[in-house]
Amino acid sequence: MFAEIGKFVGAKVATAVIFLAVAAGGIWCYQNPESVKAFGVVVKHTLIWLVVAAALPWSSYLFMRPLMARQAKMQSAYGAAMVSLGVIAAFWLVDVLLALWLADWSIAGGFTWFVVILGFIAAAAYNFVICESLARHVSA
């Protein structure tokens, strides 16, 4: 019986706390529209970067077959590997430059830099995985 009463009261208290938090957030957003707009711009730029960074390595499908044919004609396995690395690095460089351009070439704060660098590392790994996957698909 006490458990039922506790659940009932707890649910009412939780509802009241959530309502007050949402109301306070709404009031803050109403009083600080420039902060809300700035946050929206950050979200928009982040989504743009994610879409471009995700789509960019897939474009290598368009030139993967000629690239692999050229690599097969190369005398050095090291040279062929460097060509592959160069393609992946070019995609990564475009990802980095796009991110910096979207951030107006200025990123402030240690945590922000940490997140941005993690994003760059993830983009490089993603570029590698997609390019290698497409190369295996084309060669099969």
Per-residue pLDDT of the chain (140 residues; tens, 9 = 90+): 666 777 677 777 778 888 888 888 778 777 878 877 877 788 888 899 889 888 888 887 777 777 777 777 777 777 767 777 888 889 899 999 998 898 888 888 888 888 888 988 888 888 888 888 887 777 76
Q: What's the confidence (pLDDT) of residue 107? A: 82
d(CA 34, CA 38) in angstroms, rounded, equals 6
Q: What's the confidence (pLDDT) of residue 136? A: 79
